[in-house]
Amino acid sequence: MSDIGDWFRSIPAITRYWFAATVAVPLVGKLGLISPAYFFLWPEAFLYRFQIWRPITATFYFPVGPGTGFLYLVNLYFLYQYSTRLETGAFDGRPADYLFMLLFNWICIVITGLAMDMQLLMIPLIMSVLYVWAQLNRDMIVSFWFGTRFKACYLPWVILGFNYIIGGSVINELIGNLVGHLYFFLMFRYPMDLGGRNFLSTPQFFSLKGSPQPLPSFPINLP
């Protein structure tokens, strides 16, 4: 148990809390401590019954069962792997910037979920983070199932196809990729390539240390 505890404590803070919530909320629903019906993002319940917790619980909940357990575990691995890489890589030492990125992506996904009646938001948020990591490391060679190797920039689309095979849908993955692309475009592509303003500067009050931090020069490889 100490090894598991040491491993858990070694996960960077934001990823650790996100990972823990994504394990705990489905477990609560599975054990019947709270009815899973309260975890879904139902527009009517959120907008007209003022059940304001639903966008949050829908981000962490996933109905784990015989037909969905493998898909859940795969995406839990993606969360741990790529959120950790992003938090300790491009956003190393800048938890406020990383938290702001998650908040921006989450808000976009919640709005899309309400408009498209998407009841679960776990996969879209994970995929949005994976997409940002893949673009920041687009020329890195990554390995996937069965020893396949390709550039990281293709990874979100390979995973989209993979999840379609094991889950039968691509909407969640597609929304996640599009939201990740929106963040990447507004944060990097538009100001760096097109000379536009930076619309996504982290607000000063978001700094976890209580003081504003300048935008870092991320090590990215833009084509």
* The pLDDT of residue 165: 83
Question: Residue 186: which of 154, 147, 145, 215 has the closest Cα?
Answer: 215
Residue 16 in any domain: the answer is: yes
* The pLDDT of residue 207: 67
User: Can you give the residue range of the structural domain that contains 71?
Assistant: 3-196
- Length of the chain measured in residues: 223
Residue 210 CB neighbours (<10 A): 8
Residue 74 in any domain: the answer is: yes
- In angstroms, how far is CA 86 from the centroid of its own chain? 11
* The pLDDT of residue 56: 97
* The pLDDT of residue 146: 73
* The pLDDT of residue 13: 95
* The pLDDT of residue 156: 94
**CATH number for 104:** 1.20.1540.10
For residue 65, the 8-state DSSP code is S
* The pLDDT of residue 195: 67
Q: How many domains does the chain have?
A: 1
Residue 222 in any domain: the answer is: no
Residue 201 in any domain: the answer is: no
Q: Which residues contact 43 (CB under 8 A, 6 or more apart)?
A: 114, 117
> Which pLDDT tens digits describe the chain residue by residue (223 residues)?
578 888 999 999 999 999 999 999 999 999 999 999 999 999 999 999 999 999 999 999 999 988 889 889 999 999 999 999 999 999 998 999 999 999 999 999 999 999 999 999 999 999 999 999 999 999 999 988 777 899 999 999 998 988 888 776 789 999 999 999 999 999 888 777 766 677 788 888 776 544 344 444 444 444 4
* The pLDDT of residue 222: 45
The CA-atom distances, in angstroms, between 131 and each of 8, 25, 70, 176 are 24, 24, 21, 8
* The pLDDT of residue 1: 57
Instruction: Please provide the DSSP assignment of 75-137 as one string.
Output: HHHHIIIIIHHHHHTTTTT-HHHHHHHHHHHHHHHHHHHHHHT----HHHHHHHHHHHHHHHT
* The pLDDT of residue 119: 95
Residue 172 in any domain: the answer is: yes
Q: For the CA atoms of the chain, what is the radius of gyration?
A: 18
* Torsion angles phi and psi, residue 149, rounded to 5: -130, 140
Residue 48 in any domain: the answer is: yes
